[in-house]
Structure 1
């Protein structure tokens, strides 16, 4: 390797190290300060095609059309969110009140059956085995009680922390709405101002980033939103038909866990079904396993058509990026990390994932 090549390698390493440090600093510190701006501008940009279509059909000024489209979007989103949260919180409150009763009716009999089976098995090996099993059973019971106490403590602490953050979240939501309105009504001026902050030679790359955001990121977000909604509705209908209670919070939690790579609905439904079968509820246990099979079949049919195999990442890359995003910027960093990886791949190759897959 020549001296010039070595020098170029060192410069490249230093350049990408500095770039990585800048990205880390921006995500870790600047993002929390400027999140309303990015969310508001992102909403305005994603609704831009709908705004242009509405303005063209109604022959209305773009600024007026943008305000109407955004108002419709926020009203629908707020109404759906309020309805969902009202039902969810009501069922969660009722579920928390009935936890001791549910434990006595469902969990305790299962432990009694398992203890009886283990004691019968230990009786074949003499009194010493029964004594050891008794100690083990006591240790398991103490662990379960302590886990319940710790879980309740963490839940109360989390709820108190969330309540303390509600005023800040409300202010951030108001700023997001205002920024989205201002961005949408002056979209061309805002775009020209942002482009003017960068050198002229970056103009084509910035336009490419805009296309990438609309064509790739928006498609991915929209597709997986549809998939999560379909999974949620399947879980809601299946659990309701099987006669379970509190189906809304349970279906919502499982559907959200289904977003995470390598987890899916099977990690909840299959063990749950096995526990019910072991406890004597054959219909409920088999029903949950069949519900999981139905969800998987429908998902394998719908996902290639909705998402397509041209976008997304390998599960290992996705889960690594999500873990890194969680450590850097918390929950929102975990959600944004896969998109950041897609964006980095686009910047590195200069082509969107769709075009690379087709090549």
Structure 2
């Protein structure tokens, strides 16, 4: 018989605890082995029960979910899924939790609407199953502050490709999903302010959370990071994060390129979609592109990568299995045989810069 996934449910609301327990207990492969009302109780129960996965509310009395997450990941690293409210402060705390080692998050049902509850239930069950397979050694690995080479020519082999030359304009596009906020922090904070390229980012996330992600990365980085807006003109040294629930489409206006937000249907369940962004980028013939696929579930990005590679000069970098929280999207990209470099997360910013020469 298959071993069940043992879950600890942490929430200060008795109603929410019951709701989450009921949701999870309906899934035969999941067993709820305990509940806790705050961070202090959570730490005690984790030590005693050793669950496979924890669902954790962020806002709780005595000790909140962020503090409990930090202590649990130091003492007994366990995959944690945060339950978040969609308020501004809720979104900000969720991003901090993700960058501090939470595997994923689910937004709390916003009311007794049955449709909303069913959607949350399915999402929660899927995320608990995925979280149970995560290697916590990778999650708890400290983030690296790379020393970017001041004179990279001496220490990095310059790509010697006839089609890849210094004078052509460059565009960097990055796709990520589960584990992405933490991976993006490591890559984006290590890019120099002087980088001569715009950066487009698709991180699978619901509306309301991408702005908090952009603001947090902006506060930590040398480059400017913002949530993409309709009509933004691409500028070097600026990273544009696709808003939750919108695809990123690029439009040419003479020598300038602008972003338009596209609300056409999700692709493989995702809006924003990495495939959609890569396909749009593939139409810009005057740019050489650097495409990066980071940690994430599924295969988003691999179809778009094929289109990118068929249209112009593209260097593709995939995160290695060695550092990925979830080796789905990079694995799928590597399977196309179109990836030029497979790198551990801490090497990716330097690999991007190698192709900026």
> TM-score with structure 2 length normalisation?
0.25
> TM-score with structure 1 length normalisation?
0.25
Give the structure with the higher percent helix: 1
Give the structure with the higher percent strand: 2
Which structure's relative contact order is higher, taking Cα pairs within 8 Å and 6+ residues apart? 1
Rg larger in 1 or in 2?
1
